[in-house]
Amino acid sequence: MIIRYVLPVVHKLSAMAAVALLFFVLLGFTASCLFIFKPLYTIGFERHGVSEATGILSGDLVEVADTFVTYFTSDDKYMAVVVDVYGTQKSLLSEKETIHMRDVKNLVSNLRILAIVSLMGIIGYVVGLSYRVRSRAIPVLAHRLRKSAFAVVVAAIVVALLVALAFPALFTLFHLISFSNDYWLLDPRHDYLVMLFTPNFFLEATGLLIGLILLECAVLIGISYALGTKRG
């Protein structure tokens, strides 16, 4: 008798877990890729007038972008950015900014690890479900994939609306949650990280991240329909 009430709960919890795992996989891998996507830096620098604000020539900003990409793909704990500013070569980041970039790199690494662990969880979920439903594995998995992807779409749209309505507050909350120190509190008059990466840069990068996740979900939904049709 108890099983009649327990099984629906277990089913719902497993479905929610599948949605969460899929969300973390898409978020972790997509965000990690954006940090090493050079055009995100170069186009952002050009769009937001970074050259005029910092005195760094456009060609040198390309080298700055290369330095950031190299940093996030290397094993270096700290990064150094040396570039001409108003014709004088200088180290761009202060000690505080260098420590913050170390924290950012650790955050990106943790996101990647979360994505890998979540992917392993999805593989385990698929194996367990396939064993349980046997011959109906493909249509059942296609159905679960479609529902999970649609749920992630809804979540992404909600986040997009919140970002559009209250980005500054969410940006601050994100930093308070993600970092254990206040090195992210930088002065736009003196700290080059803030000059390079303006609030509008982060707003557009967040929009790109959400857009890519929605695109990835659309691909997964298409795959789920294709699998279901093929099976049928």
The identity of residue 72, as a single letter, is F
Q: What is the percent of the chain with per-residue pLDDT over 70, rounded to a whole number?
A: 93
Neighbour-count burial of 230, counting CB atoms closer than 10 A to its CB (0-12 exposed, 13-18 middle, 19+ buried): exposed
CA 191/CA 95 separation, integer angstroms: 10
Distance of CA 188 to the CA centre of its chain: 25
Q: Are the C-beta atoms of residues 79 and 98 closer than 8 Å to each other?
A: yes
**Whole-structure pTM value:** 0.91
Tens of pLDDT, residue by residue over 107-132, are: 999 999 999 999 999 999 888 888 88
For the record, the structure tokens of 27 come out as: 């978020």
- pLDDT, residue 13, reads 75
Tens of pLDDT, residue by residue over 140-190, are: 889 899 999 999 999 999 999 999 999 999 999 999 999 999 999 999 888
